[in-house]
Structure 1
Amino acid sequence: MARPSVKIKAKASAKVRRLAHGAVAPQPRTPKVGFVSLGCPKALVDSERIITKLRSEGYSIARDYDGADVVVVNTCGFLDSAKKESLDAIGEAMNGNGRVIVTGCFGVEEDRIREAHPGVLAVTGPHQYEQVVSAVHDAVPPLHDPFFDLVPPEGLRLTPRHYAYLKISEGCNNRCTFCIIPSLRGDLASRPSNHVMIEAERLVSAGVKELLVISQDTSAYGLDLKYAESPWKGSPLKARFLDLSRALGDLGAWVRMHYVYPYPHVDHVIPLMAEGKILPYLDIPFQHASPSVLKAMRRPASQEKTAERIRRWRDVCPDLAIRSTFIVGFPGETEEDFQFLLDWLKEAKINRAGCFKYEAVEGATANAIEGAVPEEVKEERWHRFMAAQKDVSSEILREKVGSTIDIIIDEVDEDGAIGRSKWDAPDIDGNVFLNGEEGLKAGDIIRGKVVEADEYDLWAERA
């Protein structure tokens, strides 16, 4: 391990590697577990749950490979490049420690993992928490019975104290042709609404100022439960996107919605953003705009006139920011399709966008679609996309100069502070720099006047 506690690869990348740090000093002879977490925020939550369980059983979290009795590697298997990174991380842990347990999305390919690293102790799949804990028990048994007071009510997390990811469901019912998530994580399985709210309330009580709601399809929340009610604060609360959004908004923290599909019922959540109940921010993975490409992708809600829908949303909530991800070079994508995407990007004024070149991921049905796009064409389109998005982002941010905005502080040093606006999620979006500002600490939410902007970031002075 012997690396920084959080290693961010690139803002546009979905792959993030983190190494857990225990907050409590290890006791003599306490078994120590090293942890390496790869992949998206959903995998990060899985890692948090596993280390919370282990810590409650008396284990401590090692800071490096040498100090660990066993190392758990939570892998990502979404893209072939992510699988390679997972294999490299497993190899690094094997070289640094030699006693390794593998879990996560890539764990479904146990044969491939064991072929590359035959010495791993155990391999489990995604969100198989009990199997991971059992494998740790086999490798290094706990020395005593659990003491639950060693673990705070909100559990142990890999994020800074002032923000936390809140997973509301597992799996996905969609069958997009480029995606293998359903085969890795199964169909949609929503958590009861009161379970989500109990966790959210505990996080806020522990000092969390921002809740980042995540799942594979957040706007489909509760569909599998038939929107069943569960008791919350003396009243029934439906497992439904709108009802959950309203309840989370009552907790007094920033609430940010990720991985939302533009289904019609999302329209009813926009007024909550206009009222300030939840943040005016939607992370919507559009992936493309061309009707023919969306049809080939089998994207849900692809028939909707999304640019028109976004305009209606902004009529209700003018401050609404849209973040999205897109794929260029999908099989069959023509130059006309790609130009359609660029024109739509400018029309819809997407605030933040990430772009990926299509990868023929093993097991994805899109690989059988005719018209594979040459790699050099993918590369050229990627650069054109990023240039177009840079122009859109620059224009939007220039309009913020002179305005006064809310800013949540993430870091403070001798030069000032770095924060984020309501329109920016951690790690993937922009920053607000407050040069020379003093007396701030991480987690503060302040008012600041925007004095400068570039393509992706803002500079502000404390108001």
Structure 2
Amino acid sequence: MATQLPSPPRVGMVSLGCPKNLVDSERILTQLRADGYHMSADYAGADVVLVNTCGFLDSAKEESLEAIGEAIAENGRVIVTGCMGKEAETIRARFPQVLAITGAHEYEQVVEAVHEAAPPSIGPYVDLIPDAGLKLTPRHYSYLKISEGCNHRCTFCIIPSLRGDLVSRRPDAILREAEKLVAAGTKELLVISQDTSAYGIDIRREPRAWKGREVVPGMTDLARELGRIAPWVRLHYVYPYPHVDAVIPLMAEGLVLPYLDIPFQHAAPAVLKRMRRPANEAKVLERIRGWRAVAPDIAIRSTFVVGFPGETESDFQYLLDWLDEAQLDRVGAFRFEPVAGAAANDLPDPVPEEVKEERYARIMAKTAAISAAKLQAKVGRPLDAIIDAVDAETGGATGRSYADAPEIDGEVHLRDAGHLSVGDIVRVHVEEADDHDLFGVPDQLPR
């Protein structure tokens, strides 16, 4: 008689916060799948639930605590990991029944905690996509984390205390991962870190051989090699340092998408100084003009903080005027929020909440108008879009252009597109635009 194998244990996962957390979740689940675990789509079917927390803002911490509470109420067996793991006492004070708590990117400790809570049975039971690991994003795009930590000490940020100083991955290891992802169906690589422009400065003396070439650890060499692997490569979290200029020709050549996600945070020199950010905003405008001279279609997205302690009306108006000149393509804004442990909490002259709200409304109105004008200029032009969803009933499809990162930017809405498939990259004829999105029709067969 054949031996009846025990059922494999099941793990549920709640992943909160930024794409870097999402990559951590993918790595944890990939290892657990290799150890014979199955994934559960709901709390009821899980032997243990992992909650990967965000601890950057107080509102994010509260969301993390709510997620932990929901998992405990629905399942009872919960392991906590992620950035809020640094505040184990806070978590245990509210949820003493939590099985284990680990910090950000502590993969081995998380897996060990799962093994202890729900021991693995004989396996593995599930075949992974060859060498690609488990993904929490759609098959056609993947986040590629190139480093951990950050060397900056911005007064509003506690990332270095959560994730440490910069630690860059070896370029050949990154490129191998990129090849595996593309072989498994990825069309778009989204390069992420805390500071992509700083990639490699800690290992600059350690070039690596790749495909018969020597790759120097740095953003330019890495971007060039990634552009030879994937159809689309998108760069996130890039600081506007002079050496970024070397990447722009790669965009003009089509090796890298003409898109930069730059965390400017503000423009007024006095505010930038209190933030401990680079404060030469005039040089930044010169640099942007130089980039556009090389790659005229480059899309620049950024985020800004309004209501930072000491921000005057004059400072805020300076920011609005700077945005008029910079003409950024995509902009997000946040009202300043104290973060436990951040130096900004001790700064004088806090901005009243009603003033924050009023300034937030003004900056969003300003940037929406800029976005609408820039998108209107695309009407009548052809551009490429990657397809994220297809509606077989209506024949419509939703995609993104080179100027749109998933979930944070705009979309391209298509009619007469029922023949397309998710992951197709297709030439689009733009017919209309609104403040944030484009509307059109496929202009050629997908590729």
Contact 1:330-1:372 at 8 Å conserved across structures:
yes
What is aligned with 1:154?
132
Moved more, 269-278 or 300-309: 300-309
| Aligned equivalents of 1:159, 1:460: Cα separation in 2 | 26
1:425 to 384, 405, 423: 405
Q: Deviations over 1:263-315 (max 9, x none)?
A: 10000100000111100000000000001111110114656621121011001
Counterpart CA distance in 2 for 1:151 and 1:270 is: 34
Matched, 1:69 2:53: no
- Aligned partner of 1:224 in structure 2 is 202
- In 2, distance between residues paired with 1:290 and 1:30? 57
> Could you say which residue in structure 2 is the equivalent of 1:204?
182
Aligned to 1:282, the other structure's residue is in SS state strand
Aligned 1:285-296 pairs, distance under 5 A: 285-296=263-274
Measure the CA separation in 2 of the matches of 1:424 and 1:122: 38
* Aligned Cα root-mean-square deviation (Å): 1.3
Q: Which amino acid aligns with 1:223?
A: I
State the 1:461 CA deviation. 1.1
The equivalent of 1:19 in structure 2 is none
1:388–1:150 Cα change, 3 Å: closer
**Could you tell which deviates more after superposition, 306-315 or 82-91?**
306-315
Correspondence list, 1:120-135, <5 A: 120-135=98-113
1:75·1:106 contact (CA, 8 Å) conserved in 2?
yes
Alignment correspondent of 1:440:
420
Partner AA of 2:402 in structure 1: K
Deviation at 1:147, TM superposition (A): 7.0
Query: Whole-Å Cα distance in 2 between the matches of residues 63 and 160 of structure 1?
Result: 16
Task: Provide the identity percentage.
Answer: 64
Q: Residue 435 of structure 1: CA displacement?
A: 2.0
Equivalents in 1 of 2:129, 2:430: separation in Å? 41
After TM superposition, the structure 1 = structure 2 runs for residues 170-319 of structure 1, keeping only pairs within 5 Å, are 170-300=148-278, 302=280, 305-319=283-297
5 Å matches for 1:4-403?
29-144=7-122, 146=124, 150=128, 152-300=130-278, 302=280, 305-403=283-381
1:235 is displaced (CA, Å) by 2.3
Q: Are the structure 2 counterparts of residues 127 and 442 from structure 1 closer, same or farther at C-alpha, using a change threshold of 3 Å?
A: same
**Aligned equivalents of 2:292, 2:214: Cα separation in 1:** 31
Per-residue CA shift, 1:83-124, capped at 9, x if unaligned? 000000000000000000000001100000001111000000
8 Å CA contact retained: 1:262, 1:301? no
2:436 is aligned with 1:453: no
Query: 2: CA distance between counterparts of 1:145 and 1:236?
Result: 40
TM-score by length of 2: 0.96
- Aligned 8 A contact 1:263 1:301 in 2: no
How many residue pairs align between the two structures?
437
CA distance in 2, matches of 1:181, 1:77: 9
CA distance, structure 2, for counterparts of residue 216 and residue 301 of structure 1: 19
Shift of 1:225: 1.0
SS in 2 for 1:74: strand
Distance 2:86 2:218 in 1: 30
- Compared CA separation, residues 148 and 60, structure 1 to 2 (3 A): closer
CA contact (8 A) 2:272 2:279 kept: no
Kindly indicate whether the alpha-carbon contact (under 8 Å) linking 2:204 and 2:216 is maintained by their aligned counterparts in 1: no
Structure 2 spans left out of the alignment, 5+ residues:
none
How far residue 196 of structure 1 moved from its aligned partner, in angstroms, is 0.3
